[in-house]
Structure 1
Amino acid sequence: MIKIKHFLLKRWKRLSIFLILFLMYFFSLPKKLFNEPTSTVLLSKNNELLGATIASDGQWRFPELDSVPYKFKHCILQFEDAHFYKHFGFNPISIGKAFFENRRAKRIVRGGSTITQQVIRLSRKNKDRTYTEKLKELILATRLEFRHSKEKILNLYSSHAPFGGNVVGLEMAAWRYYGLRPEQLSWAESATLAVLPNAPSLIYPGKNQIKLKDKRNRLLEKLYREAIIDSITYVLAMEEELPQKPYQLPTLTQHFLQEVKKEHEGKRIISSIDKFFQKQVNNLSKEHYQLLRQNEVHNLAVLVLDVETRKVVAYVGNSPTDTKHQKDVNNVIAPRSTGSTLKPFLYAHMLQSGDLLPTQLVKDVPTDIAGYIPKNFDLRYDGAVPANEALTRSLNIPAVRLLRQYGLQKFLADLKDYGIKDINQSADYYGLSLVLGGGEASLWDLCKVFAGYAGTVNHYETLKHNYYTNEFQEPSYLLNSKVDFGKVQSNSTKIDAGAAYLTLNTLTEVNRPLSDQAWKYYDSSQKIAWKTGTSFGNKDAWAIGTTSKYVVGVWVGNSDGEGRPDVTGIGSAAPLLFKVFDVLPKSKWFLEPYEDLIEENICTESGYLALPICNKVMKRIPKNGVRAASCPYHLEVHLDNTETYRVNSNCFPTNQIKTKVEFVLPPLMAYFYKQKNSDYTELPEFLEGCNTSEKRVIDFIFPVKYKTKLSLTKGTDGELNPIILKLTHAKPDAKIYWYIDNQFIQQTTDYHEVPIKPANGEHIITVIDDLGNEQKRKLIIH
């Protein structure tokens, strides 16, 4: 112990110097050799290149390779460093030969650097090749050999070597000069790229062809001499042509690539995109764009999601248009007016809550709610229409009335729970127009909700009648990421399987485009739940559909918001939707979630829970459907023995009264309903002398509200246009007497319409029928 201590004290200076030198050597190499920015590289799920962005320094430099392909590895070793696996960072024999040859020639005619030294030189930005710099490279090369394996060093060289112009690294060079992945290169192609880093500024594909070919062939000859390739391979390789001009990188998903770059700049991303389907969807989109542009519609977007994995399958952010027409706008994520695309969600939630039954009649009559007057697309009224038909026909008035019944605030909360990010204002901001396109959403978010509905139904069976807590998950585009659907529980957090299934099933009945209307008659056809939407002013056309396997969403319009005639969901977006579904694998329809539905007797005519007096049919409805109302439209009426008149015990012998069940709608609903339903019959009149206390035999069509503000407009001739007062009466041939401010103006029979031109101010409109029934309305003219 004493001897060791004496030894250390005697030689402490030498030891200190040695320690300092060792530490300097140990820390001489930066922790990270290369800090240059790299390209963002997007790959398909099969590891095929979809696209890439140039690095921020203007170089095409892909992220480092994981491994060097076999052919290029042998080529680069034979050309640059045949003893790579034998030396420890430098080759003294090569250095010596290079020194004497360069001295004799009085210029650099030969290099003695190993691949390891070249890695160091590249990391030091190719500083001047002085003897001092050579010494530094030699020291750092030995340090690099301590740090990394030979394979890693070879990877570093292949990833950072220059290949001419602004091309850096083997992978980019392979794409740029041959349009191939590095592992797909032939021996001749690998040999060509192997000689490029030696003199990238002198030898460039398309130029200096003789020098380039000579270098390549000498390398091929050496490969043959070393028995790395056989004679046949050698002869065939010598005959291969050199690359003449650079290839363009794939641009299959440009808008998607820009979105990926925002989160993963400079990284190599393996996406969930299926390159085969992406190409097909691109081609279909291009063909559809050529049709749209004839109507000066220049933009579109398509998104395809896998329901099971919630991964992106195909992504088209825009049409192949030009800068003038906003080609760079990503319409998959751009918020647009939703049109009618939110209607299925309202229908589903009302089914779930028990506020609505699938075939229940809902009102479709002129409606004025606090000054908001919704109109159907065809400007017509059905009077009464089954709820499921109102959805498939996308009728606006029933949707608005149902939203008012369900609650605007509650529906808005449902949409926010779904994660529709752009619907972020208060209920007062949107009003009841929310369900008709008063709010904005992106194609991404709407497809996400449809996928959530499909997933809810699918998972109900796989989870043995349970639900995930996070079913409405953000879709993912990363192949190796796993979507977290959350925990499993017995109750749904947003929509239950029964309501979701009934809604999706209803959406299969939406009328398809003319080219696809006979789909039910073909065995090869598949059921698709889909919905269209058209925003106000024909600015946005939507079509979104789902099967049990895929969700497809299409948006069509102009990115600058310009509306165009005939731009509609059914005419502009739906044809592309079904073409995309045609190229996707067919899938079976959803399994019906029997355990989440109950059977109840439903009135065949009204769709409400059946009364004992109704004609009924057994149907499956959501569990909360038992809370729904019973049929209000079937009445027992008393008739005389000829069934010609209605009677009562006050005016007709009791033993001669016949009782009959009739389907009776309120006058306003009946007025429009019978125009489309010729089999609807009015109630018989009362026998003369029979008293009745029935109410509301008179119903105004316009104005609907008791108090209405109006302005008289002028026609093209400068004259004031009249206001047309309209009403309907339960008795077809009733006489109606019209009064304005207690002054009689007209009598009507059959068609009760009266034009008036009242002066500014308040006026009371009074109508009285020949039985004494009376109704009033107040008009305020300004």
Structure 2
Amino acid sequence: MSFSSSHIKPFFSKHRIKFLIAFVLLLGYYFSLPKNLFSSPTSTIIESTEGHLIGAKIAADGQWRFPPTNSVPERFEICITYFEDECFRYHPGFNPISIVKALYQNSLNGEVKRGGSTLTQQVIRLSRKGKSRTYTEKIIELILATRAELRYSKKELLALYASNAPFGGNVVGLEAAAWRYFGRSAQELSWAETASLAVLPNAPSLIYPGKRQERLRLKRDRLLKKLWQHEMIDSLTYALSMQEMLPQKPYPLPQYASHALERLHQNHPGEKVQTTLNAYFQQQTNRIVKQHWQRLQQNQIHNAAVLVMDVHTREILVYVGNTPTSKEHQKDVDIISKPRSTGSILKPILYAAMLDAGELLPGTLVADVPTSIAGYTPKNFDNSFDGAVTAKRALSRSLNIPAVRMLQSFGLDRFHYTLKQLDLKDVTYGKDHYGLSLILGGAESNLWDLCKTYAAFSGTINHFNTSSSQYFSNEFREPRLVKQSDTQEKIFGVSQKEKVFFDAGSLYLTYESLKEVNRPQGEENWEFFDSSKQIAWKTGTSYGFRDAWAIGSTKDFVVGVWVGNADGEGRPGLIGLEAAAPILFDVFDLLPASDWFDAPFDALSEVEVCAKSGYRASTICPNKVKQDIPVSGLKTSPCPYHSLVHLDATGEYQVDSSCEDTANMVHTPWFTLPPLIAFYYEKSHPDYRALPPFKVTCKQSPENQLRFITPKANTKLALPKDFDESKTEFVAKITHPSSTERVFWYLNERYVTTTSSIHEMSFKPSLGKHSITVVDETGSSETVAFEIVE
């Protein structure tokens, strides 16, 4: 018998109400299951680059609930199915036999004693937030379970269960339970440990580690016996598993990088994040920081931070945001991202900028004398003066006065622009706000940005040598704390001939200078070891001893250290060399050894420089040495300190044609420094020879070389008080080219004294304006005006 369309239409017309009801029911069944079964907040989890758990933050609802996983360890899969649902692999979401058994047992007892739920039904019940266990609710669970079976695979359902099952207390999910109760991942648990966890969700409020141990043991052992009987485990494994101890109390979760965790939580809340951190380096650096903190806190120095970066990938290997101090001393503050006074840590940037601009050579002499510029009077850390010092030595010794004078020469606006281009984010004010103090800690920066800058310098040198003298467009990129698999081009951009900021030659020579920085105690003899001990590094100490910095780089790694107090309190002894540098070198000792940077020969040029002045040698420089300089250094000026001097035959006097026959003159190159510079320079350079005096018969008048050291012109001075509250004496000093000639001193145009050899005068001036005049035996004179104030 066949049906034609003429038969079908009347059939549907007759039963259209039933079809409509069936369609609505099917539609309701299809949409009955929520798109996302679970929406509870999860913990933020960070793993090391090797996949080890190194930090976890509890979920917003106070539960230890790890982000859901897509896989379940095989042992747990076996244990949970044998304990909860042996037919899990075959049923459509419910097990009729189990339901009949449950109904029969419950009817005998007059109450619900047995549920008969499958694992799929339990997933549905967990997603419905544990509604009351009524028969109506059971029917709803059964319907939703069959729908879940249509949407998810058996593996996915097991994963949903393992991620959301309760394991007692505030522990939710298998992975959180494994770490809380056994201190390791679920993948690493034994059969006995896995069985212990498999039985917990059955009654998590009644049985959990540390409570009702015997009931927990009975359930675990019953499951282990079942596994043995079904040949899931052999007899030896069964026997050994029965002897294993139960967990007694929850373990604290690993917190090896708590500040990195907080940083990542801002952008990845409730996620599992694989970081770039190296678990071993992170834990060992934590230990180093703790050891130094125990020493530093005796001087009431409570906080420190360390950042370690891989130069080749810009990945953060170590992130220690603070010491394990107390909440009172702000242990939770992440110092790495906080702006702090830079001290001298920016000096290498200025040095590299001047080399790159062709305004300086490494051996160029820079003045180191008492200096006052527009009322700003910088001082060296030890309050001494060298007169003149090579630029590279000034950098390695971190001398303040040469740095300020170099900044003035380079230009405050140019250097400020350079720092902004380097993206030092905490340099937020205009150049006039900082003034020349910008180079001595007037500005603020943070450990992240400073390490990023040093890593970019190191990377520039490395890449120049490995890419046929090319630069990379994204060399000065942000460091990475989250693991990514990128190509070199994606990380550093495209190669190009043009430099990004500084050329490789200037950076290499900057590092050559930084290699010579004086090491802290215990590291003084580094040069007697192999090249692995060569580190380009710099310290910094802020005004008032509030911040101590140390940043160093090798070919492979950058290490940055900050030490101080989070509240900004200064302490004696809180200086870079003593507080931060020892941590720096302990961390470098932890890292793999690195060779020194290869010289970027295509960015360097070998020239002759004057051995005395460090400038490019002029034709009259008597002693010349060959030296590598940046290519841009070819435009620097020749030596200004050598001049051709005309002497008599004895060499004791300068002469000219008015007093000596030109045929008898001896023409000699002479190294001559300006008087004020020479005054200090000759104290540490006994071989320095001042110009001989002119013969008295010569008509040429020598240049007036009287110069005041103190006081400076038009300065205001406040005299300190002595122990008896009386004003201390003031000492005026001058320089004079002759050590034998007498100098006559006048205070406010009244004669006071005469000096020879050492030209100094001490007196107690009254409040108000004064002037001092000095006159030598040749008639040369100099006057300075100043004011004494309270």
TM (norm. structure 2) is 0.97
Residue of structure 1 equivalent to 2:777: 770
Give the letter aligned to residue 648 of structure 1: D
Using the TM superposition, give the Cα deviation of residue 600 of structure 1 relative to its aligned residue in structure 2, in angstroms: 1.5
Verify the 8 A CA contact 1:667 1:696 in the aligned structure 2.
no
Indicate whether 1:272 and 2:263 are aligned. no
Verify the 8 A CA contact 2:531 2:595 in the aligned structure 1.
no
Tell me which of 610, 617, 638 is aligned to 1:610: 617
Q: How does 1:417-566 map to 2 (within 5 A)?
A: 417-480=421-484, 482=486, 484-523=491-530, 525-566=532-573
Farther off after superposition, 482-491 or 159-168 = 482-491
Indicate whether 1:109 and 2:120 are aligned. no
Please give the secondary structure, in 2, of the residue aligned with 1:111.
coil
Q: How does 1:22-41 map to 2 (within 5 A)?
A: 22-41=26-45
Percentage identity across aligned positions?
A: 52
Indicate whether 1:157 and 2:164 are aligned. no
Residue of structure 2 equivalent to 1:699: 707
Q: How does 1:42-441 map to 2 (within 5 A)?
A: 42-441=46-445
Farther off after superposition, 104-113 or 156-165 = 104-113
Indicate whether 1:631 and 2:635 are aligned. no
What is the alpha-carbon distance in structure 1 between the residues aligned to residue 317 and residue 680 of structure 2? 47
Farther off after superposition, 418-427 or 360-369 = 418-427
What is the alpha-carbon distance in structure 1 between the residues aligned to residue 238 and residue 454 of structure 2? 58
Q: 1:696 to 1:353 in 2, by over 3 A?
A: farther
Please give the secondary structure, in 1, of the residue aligned with 2:533.
coil
What is the alpha-carbon distance in structure 2 between the residues aligned to residue 550 and residue 408 of structure 1? 31
Using the TM superposition, give the Cα deviation of residue 647 of structure 1 relative to its aligned residue in structure 2, in angstroms: 0.9
Give the letter aligned to residue 320 of structure 1: P
Verify the 8 A CA contact 2:168 2:207 in the aligned structure 1.
yes
Please give the secondary structure, in 2, of the residue aligned with 1:102.
helix
Residue of structure 1 equivalent to 2:652: 644
Give the letter aligned to residue 195 of structure 1: V
Using the TM superposition, give the Cα deviation of residue 461 of structure 1 relative to its aligned residue in structure 2, in angstroms: 2.1
Using the TM superposition, give the Cα deviation of residue 761 of structure 1 relative to its aligned residue in structure 2, in angstroms: 4.2
Using the TM superposition, give the Cα deviation of residue 122 of structure 1 relative to its aligned residue in structure 2, in angstroms: 0.3
C-alpha distance after superposition, 1:112-133 (max 9, x if no partner): 1111110000000000011111
Residue of structure 2 equivalent to 1:653: 661
Tell me which of 661, 665, 668 is aligned to 2:673: 665
Please give the secondary structure, in 1, of the residue aligned with 2:522.
helix
What is the alpha-carbon distance in structure 1 between the residues aligned to residue 718 and residue 585 of structure 2? 46
Verify the 8 A CA contact 2:307 2:447 in the aligned structure 1.
yes
Verify the 8 A CA contact 2:719 2:730 in the aligned structure 1.
yes
What is the alpha-carbon distance in structure 1 between the residues aligned to residue 443 and residue 119 of structure 2? 61
Farther off after superposition, 3-12 or 55-64 = 3-12
Q: How many residues align?
A: 781
Verify the 8 A CA contact 1:519 1:525 in the aligned structure 2.
no
C-alpha distance after superposition, 1:537-570 (max 9, x if no partner): 1111111100010111111111111111112111
Farther off after superposition, 710-719 or 634-643 = 710-719
Verify the 8 A CA contact 2:655 2:694 in the aligned structure 1.
yes
Please give the secondary structure, in 2, of the residue aligned with 1:514.
coil
What is the alpha-carbon distance in structure 2 between the residues aligned to residue 213 and residue 712 of structure 1? 84
Farther off after superposition, 693-702 or 451-460 = 693-702
Q: 1:109 to 1:773 in 2, by over 3 A?
A: same
What is the alpha-carbon distance in structure 2 between the residues aligned to residue 33 and residue 80 of structure 1? 21
Q: 1:20 to 1:695 in 2, by over 3 A?
A: farther
Using the TM superposition, give the Cα deviation of residue 712 of structure 1 relative to its aligned residue in structure 2, in angstroms: 4.1
C-alpha distance after superposition, 1:231-274 (max 9, x if no partner): 11111111111111111111211111111111111000111111
Give the letter aligned to residue 778 of structure 2: L
Alpha carbon RMSD of aligned pairs, Å?
1.5
Indicate whether 1:688 and 2:696 are aligned. yes
Long gaps (5+) in structure 2: none
Verify the 8 A CA contact 2:532 2:595 in the aligned structure 1.
no
What is the alpha-carbon distance in structure 1 between the residues aligned to residue 699 and residue 574 of structure 2? 56
C-alpha distance after superposition, 1:435-476 (max 9, x if no partner): 111111111111111101001111112232111122111111
Please give the secondary structure, in 2, of the residue aligned with 1:345.
helix
Please give the secondary structure, in 2, of the residue aligned with 1:484.
helix
What is the alpha-carbon distance in structure 2 between the residues aligned to residue 676 and residue 8 of structure 1? 113
Residue of structure 2 equivalent to 1:750: 757
What is the alpha-carbon distance in structure 2 between the residues aligned to residue 718 and residue 521 of structure 1? 54
Farther off after superposition, 518-527 or 213-222 = 518-527
What is the alpha-carbon distance in structure 2 between the residues aligned to residue 754 and residue 702 of structure 1? 10
Farther off after superposition, 371-380 or 286-295 = 286-295
What is the alpha-carbon distance in structure 2 between the residues aligned to residue 430 and residue 481 of structure 1? 41
Residue of structure 2 equivalent to 1:676: 684
Residue of structure 2 equivalent to 1:601: 608
Residue of structure 1 equivalent to 2:595: 588
Please give the secondary structure, in 1, of the residue aligned with 2:492.
coil
Verify the 8 A CA contact 2:531 2:596 in the aligned structure 1.
no
Please give the secondary structure, in 2, of the residue aligned with 1:458.
helix
What is the alpha-carbon distance in structure 1 between the residues aligned to residue 110 and residue 213 of structure 2? 28
Farther off after superposition, 717-726 or 551-560 = 717-726
Q: 1:728 to 1:5 in 2, by over 3 A?
A: farther
Give the letter aligned to residue 513 of structure 2: T
What is the alpha-carbon distance in structure 2 between the residues aligned to residue 709 and residue 519 of structure 1? 47
Q: 1:524 to 1:110 in 2, by over 3 A?
A: farther
What is the alpha-carbon distance in structure 1 between the residues aligned to residue 596 and residue 90 of structure 2? 64
What is the alpha-carbon distance in structure 2 between the residues aligned to residue 691 and residue 749 of structure 1? 25
What is the alpha-carbon distance in structure 2 between the residues aligned to residue 712 and residue 284 of structure 1? 47
Please give the secondary structure, in 1, of the residue aligned with 2:773.
strand
C-alpha distance after superposition, 1:171-199 (max 9, x if no partner): 01000111110000000100010000000
Using the TM superposition, give the Cα deviation of residue 726 of structure 1 relative to its aligned residue in structure 2, in angstroms: 1.1
Verify the 8 A CA contact 1:467 1:489 in the aligned structure 2.
yes
Verify the 8 A CA contact 1:452 1:471 in the aligned structure 2.
yes
Verify the 8 A CA contact 1:300 1:554 in the aligned structure 2.
yes
C-alpha distance after superposition, 1:394-416 (max 9, x if no partner): 00000001011111111111112
Please give the secondary structure, in 2, of the residue aligned with 1:332.
helix
C-alpha distance after superposition, 1:16-56 (max 9, x if no partner): 22221122111111111111100001111111110101111
What is the alpha-carbon distance in structure 1 between the residues aligned to residue 786 and residue 747 of structure 2? 10
